[in-house]
Amino acid sequence: QVRQASRILKGSATNGHQSAWSQTTGKIAVATSTRTIDIWNRAGTKVERTLPTHSGWIFKLAWSSDGTKLACANGNRVTIWKPATGTKVQEIKAGSKSVHGIAWSPDNARLAATSDGGIVKIWDVTNGGEILTIRADAQKGIKSMTSLSWHPKKNLLATGHGLGLCCAWHAETGKLIWR
C-alpha cells in the first residue's frame, strides 16, 4: 500500500525551484526565488537557517553523504556551506560557463561539476584545488552536460546530456568508459 503525502513548505521566501534532501540528517535545502537557501528541519515544519548566496539563480544543490556540507551551483561558481552553522566553507570558480550539475564523491573528498561546453571539473574539497578537467567537446559529439552522479563504490562519474545521451567517465583519468 502506498501512502501519498505532501506539504507546502512556507518559509522565508517563495517559489523554491531547486531542492536537495539529506539522506543522513533528513533536512531539506530549498533554493528560493530571493536567491537564498532555506534549510528545513526533518519534519518540514520550520526553516532552521537561511543561507545567503551571491547574485544569480541557484541551478543545483547537493548534500554531502554525511549531511555536514551543502554544495550550491550558482552561475559559474560552486559554493560549499556548513548549514549547521551557516558558514561558507569555500567558493570555487568553475570557469566561464554556467554550472548545471554538481555531485559529491562517495567519500566526500571531491566535488564534481558539469557546465556548458561539455566540461566536467573535479575538485579536492579540502583545499579547493582542481584535480581534473574532462573536456567532452564537440569532437566526441557532446556539447552540453546537464547532470552527473558518482558511482557509489567505483571511481566513475555518469553524465547526462541532451537528447538522452549518457556517458561514464573514469574520475581519475578522465577517460570515457562508455556512451
Dist CA 118 CA 128 (whole Å): 21
**What pLDDT is attached to residue 13?**
54
Give the pLDDT mean for 54-66. Answer: 86
Give the pLDDT mean for 137-152. Answer: 75
Dist CA 4 CA 161 (whole Å): 31
Dist CA 125 CA 122 (whole Å): 9
% the chain with pLDDT above 90: 48
Q: Cα angle at 125 between 55 and 100, to 5 degrees? A: 45
Dist CA 71 CA 79 (whole Å): 6
**What pLDDT is attached to residue 22?**
94
Question: Is pLDDT of 53 > 60?
Answer: yes
Place of cell 570558480: 93
Question: Is pLDDT of 5 > 60?
Answer: no
